[in-house]
Structure 1
Amino acid sequence: MQDKKKYILMNIVIAFAVTMFFSCQSKKITSPDYLESEEAPIAEAFEVNLKYTDSGRLTAILKASRILDYSNRSFAYHEFPEGIILDIIDEDGKVSVVTSDYAISYQETGIIDMRGNVDILTADSTHLQAKQLYWNQNLSWVFTDQSYKSYLPDGTINEADGFDANQDFTILNSRINDGVMFIEE
């Protein structure tokens, strides 16, 4: 009888212990919110100064205060939330400068979307200002459907509601133009 009581008491203690074991919850240690978010970039860089070369020749210098790398996404991109300064160097060593308040570069398509005070000053002194500008690196083509203003070296001023051009601006298709042009007689 004593063994039977001992056996029942032991089963009750085991049942109670098992119940307590499975009813307890462990406290999950969480990482910071920015690591858990699917919206977070995979990397972030500050005060960047990238130099691009082609066959040993310096072709461009990209400066940015901050770059967010979203290459972990299905449609990978790099975001420049504080803008860019891009120096493009031609084969003769002449420099054209592109600046904007914000930019985003899509790896898959090769398109760069620049927004806010987009300013281009080419090596031949052509100056273009726009609210937004797209650059298709694969096609070497620049375009916008926003208003822009351009100043050519000969004093010509052009304002329009959109354009598309090759990146050298030797081919330019502009819409709804208004401007001043100087013509020699």
Structure 2
Amino acid sequence: MQNKNIYTIINIVTAFAVTMFFSCQSTTKNDLGGLILEDAPIAEGYEINLKYTDSGRLTAILKTSKILDYSNTSFAYHEFPEGIVLDIIDKEGKVSVVTSDYAISYQQTGLIDMRGNVDIKTSDSTHLQAKQLYWDQNISWIFTDQPYKSYLPDGTINEADGFDANQDFTILNSRINDGVMFIEE
């Protein structure tokens, strides 16, 4: 049951990553005669409501009040300075929600960094809260060195000072754990 919950969290982060790569891009020149400044975004988007579909089925909805596209830099990225709300919709129509105060998606490395009140609520009532969470798409690895807290539907609560895990959580390294777990006799 716990592996299913962890797998759901992984799917949420995966959908977030995929959604980032389908965000706005601009190929227009600016007013400086085609000169594009390296430290300025190439495009900005406001009040974004991006819907991602797969084979005609709605799978994710990304909402953000502001996105900055820095694909013109030598290390391209998309920045979400005012945070994100990401609804992930599974094949059964159940919705899981990921929120954070800030997010950034690096195109070349496949790393997604969510910061500030990272909150994941899965459709099966699993709840994870963290200050920061990373997902490396290239090696399918999730990690944080910040404290996190998870609440499972069975009442289990876990607090730790960071973890790293593979995408399906068959390998999980959690540091300095403290929690409450209910066990049947």
- 2:11: which partner in 1? none
TM-score of the pair, normalised by structure 1:
0.75
Gaps of 5+ in 1: 1-30
Per-residue deviation, 1:91: 2.2
Gaps of 5+ in 2: 1-30
Contact 2:38/2:73, CA 8 A, preserved across alignment:
no
- 2:143: which partner in 1? 143
- 1:91: which partner in 2? 91
Per-residue deviation, 1:92: 2.1
- 1:49: which partner in 2? 49
How many residue pairs get matched?
153
Per-residue deviation, 1:145: 0.9
Determine which structure has more spread, i.e. the larger CA radius of gyration.
1
Q: Decide whether aligned partners of structure 1 residues 153 and 168 sit closer, same or farther in structure 2, where only a CA change above 3 A counts.
A: farther
Aligned pairs for 1:1-185 (under 5 A) are 37-167=37-167, 172-185=172-185
Task: Measure the CA separation in 2 of the matches of 1:67 and 1:78.
Answer: 7
- Spell out, residue by residue over 1:35-61, the C-alpha distance to the aligned partner (whole angstroms, 9 max, x if none): 875311000000001111222222211
TM-score of the pair, normalised by structure 2:
0.75
Task: Measure the CA separation in 2 of the matches of 1:144 and 1:88.
Answer: 21
In structure 1, give the amino acid aligned to 2:61.
Answer: I
Identity percentage of aligned residues:
86
In structure 2, give the amino acid aligned to 1:76.
Answer: A
Considering Cα pairs closer than 8 Å and 6+ residues apart, tell me whether 1 or 2 has the greater RCO: 2
Task: Measure the CA separation in 1 of the matches of 2:60 and 2:140.
Answer: 14
Aligned with 1:109: secondary structure?
coil
How large is the RMSD of aligned CA atoms in angstroms?
2.1
